[in-house]
Amino acid sequence: MASVSDAELKKMTQDERAKALGMTTEQLTGKSLYVEFDPDAEERFTYPWAPDVDFNKRTEFDCDGKTTTEVNSQIRELMREGYGTIVLKNPRGMHSLGVGILSRLNLIIEGSTGYFTVGLIDGPNVRITGRVGWSCGENMMSGTIMIEKNAGSTFGAAIRGGDLVCRGSVGSRTGIDQKGGTIIVGGDTGALSGFMMQRGRMVVCGNAGKNLGDSMYDGTIFVGGEIKSLGVDAVEAELTDLDKKWLTRKLTQYGLMPDKGVDHFTKVVAGKQLWNYDNLEPSEKKLIL
């Protein structure tokens, strides 16, 4: 934008000026963000440098006295040796444990971890027997993460794919900027969960804090308990038979199916009043153009 001169802008049409200045006049109402994948393209979902691991080849590693860098380096070395199941013992609340794993792996962490646990992953199946700190699973692309106890704030921030599950309760801003995938919470979630959500699904079996789904652009939130309050442009929608089938399948898969079923869940979606961003910035647009 900085490379475009005033003289060049004057020669452009309004649409050309909008694009040159990084703005858009595109009307998004009615467009679907649904993406279909070609099942024949399965080989493209693995990285060419990913190690060929055997899930039946198992090893254990004691984190006690090690730095995070040493532990994460050891995980990669064990994967290069073909280990497909790695058990980490005594994590003692270490931060950034297991980040950046871009391959198939069965990772079991016995204990609790700190901030940014298993962030930026693409493919592994992770089970953590304890609690996790802030931002567990941040920017996760695919795979599964199962937390047996509670999780801190910003659980699943900017997640893009896969299943991120916490059997207990989670903190505030869960699923902030969620771009895909599924977040499932067995207990309660804090304030501003689903803030700026763009795609994907979030399921909260317990209660949700205030401002749920504030400024959500797309995606769906299901809540089995009470909702303290909805955020800006978050509205309730009809729970369809298709929703009930999906909830039943997902919650059964992770052993979180409520005794009374799923008929009581509340469905929350975007009210779509924030879809046309141009309309929100008339003064700024007038000033520039």
Digit-coded pLDDT (tens) for 179-190: 999 999 999 999
- CA 147/CA 144 separation, integer angstroms: 10
Q: According to the model, what pLDDT value does residue 102 have?
A: 92
Residue 61, both tokens:
């590693």
pLDDT tops 70 at residue 173: yes
Digit-coded pLDDT (tens) for 83-114: 999 999 999 999 999 999 999 999 999 999 99
Distances (CA, A) of 183 to 72, 138, 159: 25, 11, 9
Distances (CA, A) of 272 to 25, 83, 213, 216, 237: 16, 47, 12, 9, 12
Digit-coded pLDDT (tens) for 215-256: 999 999 999 999 999 999 999 999 999 999 999 999 999 999
- CA 133/CA 12 separation, integer angstroms: 51
